[in-house]
Structure 1
Amino acid sequence: MSDTKKIRIFMTGVGGQGTLTATTLLAKTVLSQGLPVTSGEIHGMAQRGGVVESTVLIGCKSPKIGHGEADILLGFEPMETMRALPYLKEGGLVVSSIEFMPPLSVAMGTQDCPTIDDIKKAVSSCTDKAYFMSSQTIGLEAGAVQSGNIAMLAALCAAGELPFGPEALEATIKANLPEKIQAVNLKALELGVKALDV
């Protein structure tokens, strides 16, 4: 499989957002396409509100991503998107939520929270390929706030940077998620694809 295009995806969010579920679903979708995939967590299961970072690498041997190596940055929380920018290679793709889930330090007032404009400026200094979406709002519209991560995965699949589209993710959801949460997540997938066209 040496002819597989190498794609390094860096995912970041905060505990309780479903970052690791999204990582698993994306890795299973890659596998379902017959592509070699490696995934890993950089920061273990963070407590609710703590930072969670994970990687999905297509056609790569190591699950690690160094600074300037990520082809894609998927940020489920905007401050974490900004914090993870050093990992993005120049001209890489960013898909980020614009809805904050501030870490404890910000909630307690010991650290300032950047504005969405600050974050967009920081992203635009690294790449002009960026999509921003209200993932929690989309999740709520679909029926569960956590399904916002599926909406973001769907947007990523629809962005044209992966060797498959949202249909592959849809098949993975149907094959791997319990039936009782499938409808919500399939609705989130549909809304995520639409959000990309806005």
Structure 2
Amino acid sequence: MADTKKIRIFMTGVGGQGTLTATTLLAKTVLSQGLTVTSGEIHGMAQRGGVVESTVLIGCKSPKIGLGEADILLGFEPMETMRALPYLRQGGLVVSSTEYMPPLSVAMGKQDCPTIDDIKKAVSTCTSKAYFMANQSIGLEAGAVQAGNVAMLGALCAAGELPFGPEALEAAIKANMPAKIQAVNLKALELGVKALNS
């Protein structure tokens, strides 16, 4: 097997969004391409509303991503995208949701919520390669709000930073997801690719 370029992907969202499901699906997609992959959950649990952070590393031995080391930041919730920015290397790629699932501290009025413009401004200080999409709305259009994560994975695969494209993700969905949810996720994948190119 040829030596693959190392790619470090940092994924973040809030509990109940399906961040870990998306992490597993992306890791299985990488594996299906004959590439070495390490993935792990760094922080958080599947409790609703808590922060969830995970990693997918292609061609790397360690599952850890230090500050300034992530090549790609995938943010399933915009505030979490902003919070995870210190992990992104200068010039890395950001794919982020524009739709909030505010954490408890914001919902209770203990913390202010930055605007999408604030978040885009913060991202622009790190990189010019950034895509923002309404993942929950896209998920609903596909048939299930959680499918918005697959739409974001589709956009990531279409962005040209990975050693494979959306077809590999499509094959992984067909190979790993229960038949009853495949159609919704395949539709979400298609919509995610379209959102990236629009």
TM-score, structure 1 as length reference: 0.99
**SS at structure 2 position matched to 1:63:** coil
Deviating above 2 A after TM superposition, structure 1's stretches of 4 or more consecutive aligned residues are none
Match of 2:112 in 1: 112
For 1:44 and 1:104, the matched residues in 2 are separated by 14
Most deviating of 93-102 and 39-48 = 39-48
- Does the 8 A contact of 2:70 with 2:88 survive in 1? yes
Match of 1:47 in 2: 47
Match of 1:159 in 2: 159
1:1-198 → structure 2 map (5 Å cutoff): 3-198=3-198
Structure 2 spans left out of the alignment, 5+ residues: none
For 2:18 and 2:44, the matched residues in 1 are separated by 13
Q: Which amino acid aligns with 1:113?
A: C
For 1:2 and 1:173, the matched residues in 2 are separated by 25
Superimposed CA distance per residue, residues 59-100 of structure 1 (whole angstroms, 9 cap, x where no aligned partner): 000000000000000000000000000000000000000000
Deviation at 1:45, TM superposition (A): 1.8
For 2:102 and 2:120, the matched residues in 1 are separated by 17
- How many aligned residue pairs are there? 198
For 1:15 and 1:28, the matched residues in 2 are separated by 21
For 1:45 and 1:149, the matched residues in 2 are separated by 17
**SS at structure 2 position matched to 1:64:** coil
- Does the 8 A contact of 2:151 with 2:192 survive in 1? yes
Deviation at 1:2, TM superposition (A): 6.9
TM-score, structure 2 as length reference: 0.99
Q: Which amino acid aligns with 1:64?
A: K
Identity of aligned residues (%): 89
**SS at structure 2 position matched to 1:163:** coil
Structure 1 spans left out of the alignment, 5+ residues: none
Q: Which amino acid aligns with 2:111?
A: Q
**SS at structure 1 position matched to 2:17:** coil
For 1:140 and 1:146, the matched residues in 2 are separated by 8
CA RMSD of aligned residues (A): 0.8
Superimposed CA distance per residue, residues 19-64 of structure 1 (whole angstroms, 9 cap, x where no aligned partner): 0000000000000000000000001424101000000000000000
